[in-house]
C-alpha cells in the first residue's frame, strides 16, 4: 500500500465532514512497522465522514512521529500522546474524545477494506439496529495471500432480532472470536457513553470480551455482513500464540462472563453446552501453547496442573462429550482423571506430528 503520507492531500475530501458521523479509535504503541499501512487503509475509505482518533500510548519507536505527520496531512486525524498505560486505557481515553454517532476500533497493524465504513453504515438503516458486524480474515505478518476466512452467516447479510441471537456467536468455534473481538464492528457511541461502558484495566487478555458483553446487554437488533471487510494481522509471536499463565486466568474470566450473560438471557441448555464445548477447545489450545513453550518437562507438567486446578477446567472437561477426533478424545479423558503424565505424553506426540 502507498504510505508516502507526506505528499498526500486528504483534506480535499474533508469540506463536508463537519460533525463526524463515525469515530475510529486506534491505540498505538511501538507500531511503526505497520502503522502507515493501517492508517492509509482507513483514510482511503469510500465513506469519508469520520474522525480518526490516534492514542499514542507512550511509544518508544517512530510511531508518535508517524501519527503527527498524518495529522498534518488530514484534518480528520486527531492525535493524543499519553504515558504508557496499556491498550485498554488508550481505548477508554479514545472513547471519551469521540464525537461521532458511531464508533469503530481498529488495531494499529490491521487493515480495512476500502468499503468497510460504507457497507457497515448500511446496517443502521433500521434505527433499532445497535451494532453491525462483518466477516474478517486472519493473516500472519506480511503475507496477505496466506489468510483464513471467518465469515458470518450463510446469507450476504443477516438481521438478528435480539441479543439472544447475537449471543449465539459465542457457541460456534468459527464465530466465537467475532463475538469476543471489538474489531470488525460498528457500535453506537451513545450506548457506550450513556451506560459508562469501558474496557477493564485489571486484565490483559479478553478485555474485548468484557467490553462487548456490557454492550451486548443493551443491543436490540444486530446486522451481520458476511463479507470480509476487516483484515486481522497476527504476529507469530503475539500474545494469543505464546503461552503465559496469566492469559489462561483471563480466558477463564471471559468464559465465566459469557456464562453469566447466557444465564441472564435464559439461553437454552443446548446453547450453554455449546459454549462449554468452545471453551474445551480453548483449554486444549492452552495445552498446545504449554507444549510449545521453552523449559523442562517438569515445568510443562506444572503448567498443565495449573490449568487443571481451575474449577472451570474440571467442569468443562466433565460436561462435554467425547470427540471423534482421537487427540481431543484422549485429552478429555486424561483431563477428567487429572493424568498429567498422559497429557504431557499426548502433547509430545502432537508436537512431533506438527513438525
Name all domains of the chain by residue range, CATH numbers in brackets. Answer: 5-234 (3.90.550.10), 245-354 (no CATH)
Give the C-alpha separation, 138 to 192, whole Å: 27
pLDDT score at 20: 62
Place of cell 451506560: 195
Give the C-alpha separation, 242 to 344, whole Å: 18
pLDDT score at 8: 44
* Helix count and strand count (H, E) for the chain: 14, 10
pLDDT score at 240: 52
pLDDT digits (tens, 9 = 90+) for 54-81: 999 999 999 999 999 999 999 999 999 9
Of the pLDDT bands very low, low, confident and very high (cuts 50, 70, 90), residue 241 is low
pLDDT digits (tens, 9 = 90+) for 1-26: 334 434 444 333 333 334 469 999 99
Beta-strand pair 22-28/111-112: unpaired
Give the C-alpha separation, 222 to 237, whole Å: 34
Q: How would DSSP label each residue in 23-92?
A: EEEEEESS-TTTHHHHHHHHHT-S---EEEEEEEES-SSSHHHHHHHHHHH-TTEEEEEE----HHHHHH
pTM: 0.90
How many CB atoms neighbour CB 258 within 10 A?
Answer: 26
Average pLDDT over residues 118-123: 96
Assess contact for 267 and 159: CB atoms under 8 A.
no
Check residues 239 and 110 and name the one with the higher pLDDT: 110
pLDDT digits (tens, 9 = 90+) for 321-343: 999 999 999 999 999 999 999 99
Give the residue from 204, 197, 219, 196 showing the smallest Cα distance to 128.
219
Share of the chain above pLDDT 70, in %: 92
* Range in 3-17, 190-204, 243-257, 300-314 with the lowest mean pLDDT: 3-17
Assess contact for 99 and 24: CB atoms under 8 A.
no
Assess contact for 43 and 74: CB atoms under 8 A.
yes
Assess contact for 222 and 160: CB atoms under 8 A.
yes
- Record the cell numbers describing residue 138, joined without a space: 486472519
Return the C-alpha torsion angle 243, 134, 10, 33, nearest 10.
Answer: 20
Those residues whose C-beta lies under 8 Å from the C-beta of residue 219, and which sit 6 or more positions away, are 130, 131, 163, 166
Amino acid at each position: 500500500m502507498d504510505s508516502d503520507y507526506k505528499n498526500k492531500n486528504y483534506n480535499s475530501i474533508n469540506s463536508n465532514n463537519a460533525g463526524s458521523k463515525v469515530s475510529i479509535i486506534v491505540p498505538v504503541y511501538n507500531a511503526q512497522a505497520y502503522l502507515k499501512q493501517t492508517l492509509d487503509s482507513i483514510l482511503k475509505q469510500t465513506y469519508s465522514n469520520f474522525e480518526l482518533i490516534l492514542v499514542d500510548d507512550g511509544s518508544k519507536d517512530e510511531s508518535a512521529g508517524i501519527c503527527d505527520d498524518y495529522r498534518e496531512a488530514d484534518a480528520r486525524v486527531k492525535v493524543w500522546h499519553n504515558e504508557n498505560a496499556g491498550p485498554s486505557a488508550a481505548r477508554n481515553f479514545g472513547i471519551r474524545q469521540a464525537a461521532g454517532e458511531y464508533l469503530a476500533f481498529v488495531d494499529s497493524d490491521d487493515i480495512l477494506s476500502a468499503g468497510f465504513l460504507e457497507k457497515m453504515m448500511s446496517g443502521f438503516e433500521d434505527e433499532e439496529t445497535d451494532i453491525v458486524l462483518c466477516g474478517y480474515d486472519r493473516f500472519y505478518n506480511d503475507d496477505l495471500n496466506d489468510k483464513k476466512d471467518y465469515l458470518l452467516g450463510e446469507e450476504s447479510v443477516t438481521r438478528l432480532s435480539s441479543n439472544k441471537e447475537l449471543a449465539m456467536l459465542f457457541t460456534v468455534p468459527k464465530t466465537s472470536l467475532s463475538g469476543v473481538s471489538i474489531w470488525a464492528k460498528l457500535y453506537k457511541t451513545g450506548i457506550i457513553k450513556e451506560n459508562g461502558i469501558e474496557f477493564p484495566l485489571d486484565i490483559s487478555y479478553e478485555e474485548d470480551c468484557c467490553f462487548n458483553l456490557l454492550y451486548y446487554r443493551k443491543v436490540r437488533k444486530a446486522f451481520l455482513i458476511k463479507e470480509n471487510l476487516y483484515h486481522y494481522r497476527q504476529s507469530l509471536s503475539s500474545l494469543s500464540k505464546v503461552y503465559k499463565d496469566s492469559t489462561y486466568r483471563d480466558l477463564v474470566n471471559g468464559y465465566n462472563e459469557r456464562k453469566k450473560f447466557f444465564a441472564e438471557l435464559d439461553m437454552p441448555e443446548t446453547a450453554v453446552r455449546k459454549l462449554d464445548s468452545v471453551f474445551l477447545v480453548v483449554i486444549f489450545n492452552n495445552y498446545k501453547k504449554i507444549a510449545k513453550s521453552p523449559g523442562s518437562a517438569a515445568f510443562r507438567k506444572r503448567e498443565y496442573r495449573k490449568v487443571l486446578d481451575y474449577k472451570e477446567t474440571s467442569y468443562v472437561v466433565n460436561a462435554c462429550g467425547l470427540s471423534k477426533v482421537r487427540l481431543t478424545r484422549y485429552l478429555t479423558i486424561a483431563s477428567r482423571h487429572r493424568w498429567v503424565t498422559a497429557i504431557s505424553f499426548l502433547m509430545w506426540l502432537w508436537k512431533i506430528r506438527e513438525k
